[in-house]
């Protein structure tokens, strides 16, 4: 391996940005080049600008690093974006036009036709969209996105089932952690002793993103997978970890054992390539009747797996189960870092001269 590639983190002071900083400490392939955030933070050292909320300690290496504006010109070979969607649209395009690969965690560009919505275990062939995107923008830069935090936990479990048995219908009811709303996020008085049955825009994302991720890449286009998803999303008073109650119907009905084995044995490209952030098991199946639970299970496989439990027949659809994903690790910064590792392994991220 040649020298480490330098990553800039946009939105470095936010909930997702902090995870990037924590996960990039001692990364074998990448190092932090620059950090950037809003005008509120520009010019300040990181420890002053940022209200650190990640349970692990703030790494020493970033403490005194000064924040820059989110504008091209940053010392970096590529960019991670943890910006709010409202500003990511324009800022990420500016970086891509200036020749930077942008590995984004924001929602803005996810559903664009020539932007890969990448999950390395599922759709690495969608990376072929990048050359079409570069032709359109006439730039060596490009944008690659990872899914919404709820979608990715769900789709890691749906992918092996769809391949083996063909999904027909999916119903999912979510119980989503507070950190998913960023910082300061939901007001304490709204969520204490309460459950909020509405998260703006979330159900639409969960009902559409999996169909692009599981779609077939053909003739320069992703043809959406054809099954129906119904999502009902709730905010609950948990710090990290989205729990999802899922029911599925399938075209080829497996036995319960076959279904469990299909989930538990799922392995794919990141595991074959031994990418540094790849979970050994992308889907972990638990047998205990009262698991998964956010507090106990969110850090399995370093927060990079979907943890499934309570797999059983469903009297309405065919099978039902619960799953859990760590929303700021596999649901956000960890997903983007794994995407960058795959790009690096494919020769699509290079050091600038």
> From residue 94 to residue 113, what is the string marking binding to ligand NAP with x (rule CB under 6 A)?
-----------xxx------
Q: How far is CA 24 from CA 34, 262, 267, 332, in A?
A: 12, 32, 24, 13
Identity of the residue, 11 or 309, whose beta carbon is nearer to ligand NAP in the bound complex: 11
Strands (E), the chain: 5-10, 30-37, 68-69, 78-81, 101-104, 142-145, 167-176, 216-218, 221-223, 228-235, 242-250, 283-285, 306-313, 319-325
Burial class (CB in 10 A: 0-12, 13-18, 19+), 43: exposed
**Contact of 327 with 242, CB cutoff 8 Å:** yes
Annotation says 242 is catalytic: yes
Q: Which tokens hold the place of 46? A: 């990181």
C-alpha to C-alpha distance for 294 and 157, rounded to whole angstroms: 17
Q: Is 141 in the site for ligand NAP (CB under 6 A)?
A: no
Which residues fall within 8 angstroms of residue 281, CB to CB, at 6 or more apart? 264, 266, 267, 301, 305
Q: Is 175 in the site for ligand NAP (CB under 6 A)?
A: no
Which residues fall within 8 angstroms of residue 315, CB to CB, at 6 or more apart? none
Identity of the residue, 14 or 160, whose beta carbon is nearer to ligand NAP in the bound complex: 14
Annotation says 233 is catalytic: no
Identity of the residue, 87 or 236, whose beta carbon is nearer to ligand NAP in the bound complex: 87
Among 5, 7, 8, 16, binds ligand NAP (CB under 6 A): 16
> From residue 31 to residue 50, what is the string marking binding to ligand NAP with x (rule CB under 6 A)?
------xx-xx---------
Among 45, 182, 254, 276, binds ligand NAP (CB under 6 A): 182
Start-to-end Cα distance in the chain: 17
State the number of binding residues for ligand NAP (CB under 6 A): 31
From 76-84, 212-220, 267-275, 342-350, span contacting ligand NAP (CB under 6 A):
76-84
Q: Is 15 in the site for ligand NAP (CB under 6 A)?
A: yes
Q: Which residue is nearest to ligand NAP (CB)?
A: 14
Among 21, 24, 62, 70, binds ligand NAP (CB under 6 A): 70
**Residues labelled as active-site residues:** 149, 242
Where do contacts with ligand NAP occur on this chain (CB under 6 A)? 11-17, 37-38, 40-41, 70, 82-85, 87-88, 105-107, 148-149, 179-180, 182-183, 327-328, 331-332
């Amino acid at each position: 391996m040649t020298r480490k590639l330098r990553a800039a983190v946009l939105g470095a002071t936010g909930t997702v940005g902090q995870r990037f900083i924590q996960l990039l400490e001692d990364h074998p392939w990448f190092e932090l080049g620059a950090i950037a955030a809003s005008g509120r933070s520009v010019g300040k050292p990181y420890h002053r600008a940022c209200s650190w909320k990640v349970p692990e300690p703030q790494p020493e290496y970033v403490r005194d690093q000064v924040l820059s504006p989110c504008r091209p010109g940053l010392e970096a070979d590529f960019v991670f974006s943890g910006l709010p969607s409202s500003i990511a649209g324009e800022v990420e395009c500016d970086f891509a036009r200036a020749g930077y690969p942008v590995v984004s965690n924001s929602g803005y560009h996810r559903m664009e036709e020539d932007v890969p919505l990448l999950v390395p275990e599922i759709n690495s062939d969608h990376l072929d969209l990048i050359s079409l995107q570069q032709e359109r923008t006439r730039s060596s830069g490009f944008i690659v996105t990872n899914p919404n935090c709820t979608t990715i936990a769900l789709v890691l479990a749906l992918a092996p089932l769809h391949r083996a048995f063909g999904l027909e219908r999916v119903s999912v009811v979510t119980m989503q952690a507070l950190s998913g709303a960023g910082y300061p996020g939901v007001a304490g008085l709204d969520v204490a002793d309460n459950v909020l049955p509405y998260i703006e825009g979330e159900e639409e994302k969960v009902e559409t993103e999996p169909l692009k991720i599981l779609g077939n890449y053909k003739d320069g286009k992703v043809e959406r997978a054809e099954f129906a998803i119904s999502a009902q999303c709730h905010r609950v008073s948990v710090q990290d970890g989205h729990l999802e109650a899922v029911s599925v119907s399938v075209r080829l009905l497996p036995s319960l054992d076959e279904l469990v084995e299909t989930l538990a044995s799922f392995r794919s490209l990141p595991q074959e390539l031994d990418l540094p952030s790849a979970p050994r098991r992308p889907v972990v199946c638990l047998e205990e009747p009262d698991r998964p639970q956010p507090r106990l299970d969110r850090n399995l496989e370093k927060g990079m797996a979907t943890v499934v439990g309570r797999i059983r027949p469903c009297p309405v659809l065919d099978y039902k189960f619960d799953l859990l994903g760590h929303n700021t690790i596999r649901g956000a910064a960890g997903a983007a870092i794994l995407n960058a590792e795959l790009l690096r392994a494919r020769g699509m991220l290079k050091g600038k001269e």
